[in-house]
Amino acid sequence: MTSRRLLRGLVLAALGSVLVYGVLAALTDAPAVASALRGFPLPTLGAMIALTLVCYFLRALRWRFLVSRVDCPMSLSDAVYVQFSGMTMTVTPGKVGEVLKAYLAREICDLRMSRGIAIVFSERLADLIAVLVLSLGGVSLLGGAWFSVALAGLVIALGTFAVSSERFHQFVLRLVMSRKWSRRHHASATAMSETVREVLRTGPFVVSIAFSLVAWGAEGVAFALSLRALGFTALGIWPAIAIYAASTVVGALAFLPGGIGFTELSIAALLVAAGMPGPDASAATVIIRLVTMWFGVGLGWIVFATRPRMLRAFFSAPAIE
């Protein structure tokens, strides 16, 4: 995947977000939405940004913990740099652009790309489990849908157990290596297999999920603060966290850049279902997405640029591989 393609995807995602926010405003009384946005208290916005930063730093600590499991010691400053720079690719389809983290880890501590990609995979799996756990209360607003989420969580847990087993990896490696074209990638496939088994072991994976729960929970609390600031007190903190998490799951399953469109519509629909007026629901949706997604993308580019050599290498590379 070339850096130019990733940047093109970023621009398209930004345009898509503007379109989605415009549609939300038009459907729910644009002047009322604009009024709610203008009147949003700055202290609450500051608190939301602070909670979002907590989320980002927790993810950096998790990255450092996971790479240490595969003999890639990384300083805290390097881990923060890799995590924040990786957020520039949050709005790539399915977050596949986060392989940038694997690329940066290779440049910083000589970690094989295949190992870095395996760690990114384990992070996404831990995040998925965490948001499913947090979303149970939110989807229950749709009328008993919590059973489907619980079932999905069980399937993912069983799948994780299977993927972490040595027998599964031996089977997959034999299958892959039976293809003539793939034999030249034997070393990378083996390294990826070893890394997945290591980071999905019970101990490390439980720690990874714990980081995910607290990190996503912090963003959920930020969402709850925005609802209070807009005068909607019918939902407590936990239901608000659940709605935010449930909408994140919907966006992830859509496999669109940053879940754009599906996440926003899910947030707004769940808030309206909970009794929030349409214009306020749209305003809350726009605010939380700006704070938790686009703020991260912008901050990521700023952090990425603090090491010009890395930035130049990224743009000059024909592909991240």
Using a cut of 0.85, tell me whether the model's pTM lies above it: no
Concatenating the DSSP letter of every residue in 239-284 gives: HHHHHHHHHHHHHHHHTSBTTTTHHHHHHHHHHHHTT--HHHHHHH
List the one residue out of 33, 2, 102, 1 whose CA is nearest residue 316.
Answer: 2
Let me know the angle formed at the C-alpha of 7 by 13 and 250, rounded to the nearest 5 degrees.
35
* Alpha-carbon span 91 to 311, nearest angstrom: 18
Cβ contact 84:56 at 8 Å: yes
pLDDT of the residue at 96? 60
What does the pLDDT read at residue 26?
82
CA-CA distance, 211 to 150, in Å (whole number)? Answer: 20
Give the pLDDT score at 27: 79
Alpha carbon distances (Å) from 200 to 22, 63, 163: 41, 14, 8
- Tell me how many degrees the CA angle 265-267-273 measures, rounded to the nearest 5: 100
Domain ranges of the chain: 3-316
User: For residue 93, what are the β-bridge partners?
Assistant: 257
pLDDT recorded at residue 113: 84
pLDDT the model gives residue 94: 54
Q: How many residues does the chain have?
A: 321
Low-confidence spans in the chain with pLDDT less than 50 = 142
